[in-house]
Amino acid sequence: MQSLAATSAAGVLLDLSGVLILLLAFACLGSKLFNRYVAYYGAQSVVLAFAAGVAAQAFHSVELWILAVATLAIKGIGIPVAARRLLVQRLDLKRDAALSTGLSTSLIAGGALTAFAYLVTRPQLLPHGVVAAAVVPLSTAVILLGGLAMVVRRHTVAQLIGWLIVENGVFLGAITLVATFPFIVEAGVFLDLVAGVLIMLVFVSGLTRQLASASAAELRELQG
């Protein structure tokens, strides 16, 4: 049994979580305050942890339970708290002024990307009637929205959050599409994520100390 039926209770719950995760990605894209970026990311991770729990219940999988708890603890609580303490508060970040497009433009682009995600992943790729057919386009859309956030935001902290949203999108796809992904691999992905966030925190702090504002727009020394 690979994929849950879309009409089962677990399937409906997963579908719902997918929609919530997409909405939170949109909320992050449509916001201008650093506090909100972090808050929306944290909320998205909590929903993701819930989705992982639902999948774990449906597949009776201990590994997925472990992943759900780890997601809640690290992505839902650990990273947001660390980002708030170490970046937003310590660097006194409030409004993100380093946007390359207006908020409405980026929201419209996000809508277009969501439609694109449905176009790409819907036909032929996935069989009808399984929950993956509904959730994989959602997770693809979340990946694209995270990428969009990294492109339109020039502040390094915002880019970091964008990457984390991309990671969440991949994870959402992973638990619905292939719930039986080998555990060693999942754990490794998790470790990489934590190490990545740590090293990025170091770089962002270092850059901020040197540049006064760690906006990637000011990263202009290296060109060509």
Partner 1 sequence: MIVLMVAAAAGPLAGSVAAGCGARARAAGWAGAAGAVISLACSIWLLAAELHRAPVSGWGGYLYLDSLSCFFLFTVAAVTVLAAVGSVAYLAAEEDSGRLSAFQVRLYFIFFGLFAALMLAALETGNLGLLFVLIEASTLASAALVGLEARSSSLEAAWKYVIISSFGVTIALAGTLFLFYSASGLHLAPDLRLTWPYLFGHARALAPESLRLAFLLAVVGYGTKVGLAPMHTWLPDAHAEAPSPASAMLSAALLNTGMYAIMRFLAITRGRLGDGFPRAVLLTFGFLSIVIGVLFMVRRGNFKRLFAYSSVEHMGIIAVALGFGGVLGLYGALLQTLNHAIAKAVLFLTSGDVALRYRTREAAGVTGLLAAAPVTGGALLLGSFAVLGSPPFGLFLSELTIVRAGFASSGAVLPLLLLALLAVAFVAFARTTTGMVTGSAPSAPAAAMVADGSRLARATAGILTGGPPPARATTRDGPDESESGAVLTAPAPHSSPAPVLEAPYRGRWTALAASMPLVVGLVALLVLGLWIPAGLDAVIRHAAAVL
For residue 202, give both structure tokens: 């170091």
One residue of 78, 107, 207, 213 binding partner 1 per CB under 8 A: 207
Q: Which residue do the tokens 């305050």 mark?
A: 33
Whole-number minimum distance, CB 137 to partner 1, in Å? 13
- Output b/e per residue, 169-204; b: 16+ Cβ within 10 A: bebbbbbbbebebeeeebeeebeebeeebeebbeeb
In the shown chain, the binding pattern of residues 158 to 177 toward partner 1, with x for contact by CB under 8 A and - for none, equals: -xx--x--xx--x--xx--x
180 interacts with partner 1 by CB under 8 A: yes
Nearer to partner 1, 92 or 224 (CB): 224
195 interacts with partner 1 by CB under 8 A: yes
Contact assessment for residue 113 and residue 141, using Cβ atoms and an 8 Å cutoff: yes
In the shown chain, the binding pattern of residues 93 to 132 toward partner 1, with x for contact by CB under 8 A and - for none, equals: ---------------------------x---xx-------
One residue of 189, 213, 215, 217 binding partner 1 per CB under 8 A: 189
One residue of 185, 201, 213, 215 binding partner 1 per CB under 8 A: 185
In the shown chain, the binding pattern of residues 140 to 159 toward partner 1, with x for contact by CB under 8 A and - for none, equals: ---x---x--x-----x--x
The footprint of partner 1 on this chain (CB under 8 A) covers a number of residues equal to: 44
Nearer to partner 1, 115 or 178 (CB): 178
Nearer to partner 1, 102 or 133 (CB): 133
Interface residues with partner 1 (CB under 8 A) are 2-3, 120, 124-125, 143, 147, 150, 156, 159-160, 163, 166-167, 170, 173-174, 177-178, 180-182, 184-185, 188-189, 191-192, 195-196, 199-200, 202-204, 206-207, 210-211, 216, 219, 221-222, 224
